[in-house]
Structure 1
Amino acid sequence: MLAEGPIPVHIAFIMDGNRRFARKQNLKEGAGHKVGFFALLAVLKYCNELGVKFLTAYAFSIDNFKRRPEEVQYVMSLLEEKANEILNEEHILYQYGVRVRFIGNLKLLNEPTRIAAEKAMEATAKNDKIVLSICVAYSSTDEIVHAVQEVCNDKRSNIQTLALAADNTTNEIYVDAREGIDRDSTIKLADVERHMYLAGIPDPDILVRTSGETRLSNFLLWQTTHCFLHSPSVLWPSFTLWTLIWIILDYQRAQSYLDKKKKLI
């Protein structure tokens, strides 16, 4: 049935309900996040088998740092542990050819977690079957501000380079200094998009938020203009293949309508 319709290229997930799952199952605080990680691996396997090329998961927002210190430390330790596991070439991500990207303001992570994330990204950089972007220390507004700041820095640097070259009396140096320099100080849409954390990745076709919540919670606000939104009631750790299949079937049913909306823009 799925093969009769378009398969989404990129699916994004807000993995909501880990803490509620733990409470319902009488698990220790934080255990829901660990179960949620295994659910993410299962979904990654399903997406790989279905032909989905990009998977983005909202693991920890900047606002989540306001939670109890014990919970924040548990999540950071879990991220560090799982990032270090990826360094093992027998890890399941290598079997599926997964490239891992940690997306967000990584400077906010503690040093061991940040170093582990950087090593995992480096170790999987050559994998090319599916890209898994894990958003940590992330918010969409932070991503947009970061991109605009980077564009402004680029423009300022170009202007300073041109000014220095214009003051130089050697014409050869002036020409070399101008080569490859953008003389237009106007900030364009393409400039901002080039500096987004998710630059180079197509916008999501589907955004899924589990646990029945219908808020975007500052996630991918820039990238979800034409995105199909789905909010199943299932808690994230209980997400199954059948949940994913029904989401994709709903997307296929709405896809022609979404395409028409895109063409109107």
Structure 2
Amino acid sequence: MSWIREGELSLVEKLSANVLKAGPMPKHVAFIMDGNRRFARKKQVERQEGHSQGFDKLAETLRWCLQLAIPEVTVYAFSIENFKRAKEEVDGLMELAKQKFLRLLGEQENLEKHGVCIRVLGDLTMLPLDLQQLIARAVVATREHNKCFLNVCFAYTSRHEITNAVREMAWGVEQGLIRSSDVSEALLSECLYSSNSPNPDLLIRTSGEVRLSDFLLWQTSHSCLVFQSVLWPEYSFWNLCEAVIQYQCNYRSIQKARDLHRDEQVRHQLEADRACVAELLQRGGGRRQDALSDYSRRREERVRDFLDALRHKRDSFITDLSSQAALA
């Protein structure tokens, strides 16, 4: 099954999509694709078949998102907690992932046609080396595409992501790239795996569960959360439309909360800069009227250089893995 399933909407679906697109549309939708195992039990098939059907549904859902002009999708493909499942099931999921990323590498023309950029968010070092290399090849191969984005959270939990972001900032301080006083909420956001993406506008979880299961906890603080009872392999275009309508109904309150949060971040950063300047002046650093603007400019330069170094470190890791695969 292709990663991006070709096909057109029915006439009724097209009309409904046009009506939806007359209102505010989410630019980034995240999915917790829950219910594959329950679907397998329901259909009395092997668990692996349930997971395979779940991937097929992802391909179909990506097509719907493209047709609804939703340019970015993030999916929870494999939690770090999933490693605790039976070895047979974990091995099966790793094998399924290998098959799908191999298939992706054979679909370059289709991915280029749609401009799909694939990103994989998570701790790849937890995965088998051959899977790491396949993922790296897929990421490098689609890195320059910029029409739409698919973020696959694999070997991921939000707590692990946030912990890693703190480690990255500590690394920056150790390397002398930033100061401890430069650490902030905004900087932590830039150190997350998802730093290249805007926060999701809409998060959808299927199967009737009403919890986030350690998925995008930081990024969804001002997102519309929709919990639907349908099992993921049975998800439909109309389920997606229902979720978008819920987002549209809550659009104003979401935007207001985001604006308030953005203003609060700016205020907190200004207060932090003033405190640092006051401390410097108290130590005899001078009394120039432009001390605050100079300090803020230097801090922004430090942070920018640190983030450039962090991006280079992460890109080099992926590029090196991809090169290893080419040499193997």
- Residues 158-216 of structure 1 show CA distances to partners (whole Å, capped at 9, x for unaligned) of 0xxxxxxxxxxxxxxxxxxxxxx445544222321221000120000000000111100
TM-score by length of 2: 0.71
Closer/same/farther in 2, CA of residues 264 and 26 from structure 1, 3 Å limit: same
Counterpart for residue 257 of structure 2: 261
The two structures, once aligned, show a CA RMSD in angstroms of 1.4
Given candidates 159, 178, 189, the residue that maps to 1:141 is 159
Give the CA deviation at 1:261.
Answer: 2.6
Measured against aligned partners, the alpha-carbon deviations of 1:136-174 in whole angstroms (never above 9, x if no partner) come to: 10000000000000110111110xxxxxxxxxxxxxxxx
1:151 counterpart = 2:169: yes
Q: Paired residue for 1:76?
A: 94
Alignment of 1:7-156 (within 5 A): 7-89=25-107, 92-156=110-174
Amino acid at match of 2:50: G
Partner residue of 1:251 out of 247, 252, 256: 247
Greater relative contact order (Cα < 8 A, sep 6+): 1
Query: Kindly tell me: are residues 257 and 188 of structure 1, through their superposed partners in 2, closer, same or farther at Cα, counting changes over 3 Å?
Result: closer
- Aligned twin of 1:173: none
Q: Distance in 2 between matches of 1:96 and 1:229?
A: 28
CA contact (8 A) 2:172 2:178 kept: no
Partner secondary structure for residue 38 of structure 2:
helix
| 1:56 partner SS | strand
**Unaligned ranges ≥5, structure 2:** 1-18, 262-328
Q: Kindly tell me: are residues 90 and 104 of structure 1, through their superposed partners in 2, closer, same or farther at Cα, counting changes over 3 Å?
A: closer
TM-score, with structure 1 as normaliser? 0.88
Is residue 85–residue 91 contact of structure 1 (8 Å, CA) maintained in 2? Answer: no
Tell me the alpha carbon deviations over residues 94-138 of structure 1, each in whole angstroms, 9 at most, x when there is no partner: 332211111101100111111111111111112111110010100
Q: Could you give the per-residue CA deviations for residues 61-85 of structure 1, whole angstroms, max 9, x where no partner exists?
A: 0000000000000111111111111
How far, CA to CA, are the matches of 2:108 and 2:188 in structure 1? 38
- Residue number among 190, 194, 203 corresponding to 2:190 in the alignment: 194
Specify every segment of 5 or more residues in structure 1 that has no aligned partner in the other structure, as ranges.
159-180
Q: Distance in 1 between matches of 2:191 and 2:222?
A: 21
Report the AA paired with residue 220 of structure 1. Answer: L
Instruction: Report Cα offsets for 1:197-250 as digits up to 9, x if no partner.
Output: 001200000000001111000000000111101011110011111111111111
CA distance in 2, matches of 1:184, 1:60: 34
Residue 214 of structure 2 is matched in structure 1 by 218
Q: Would the alpha carbon gap of residues 231 and 91 (structure 1) be closer, same or farther in structure 2, given more than 3 Å must change? A: farther
Given residue 246 of structure 2, which amino acid in structure 1 is its aligned partner?
A: D
Looking at structure 1, the residues matched to 107 and 156 of structure 2 have their Cα atoms a distance apart, in angstroms, of: 28
* Structure 1 or 2: more helix by fraction: 2
Going from structure 1 to structure 2, the CA distance change for 1:248 and 1:3 (only over 3 Å counts) comes to same
**Per-residue CA shift, 1:21-46, capped at 9, x if unaligned?**
01111111211111100110111111
**What's the % identity of the aligned pairs?**
41
1:164 corresponds to? none
Show structure 1 runs of 4+ deviating over 3 A. 89-95, 181-186
Structure 1 residue 262: Cα displacement: 2.6
Q: Secondary structure at the match of 2:50?
A: helix
Distance (whole Å) between structure 1 residues aligned to residue 109 and residue 86 of structure 2: 32
Aligned match for 2:199, one of 197, 200, 203: 203
Matched to 2:215, the amino acid is: F
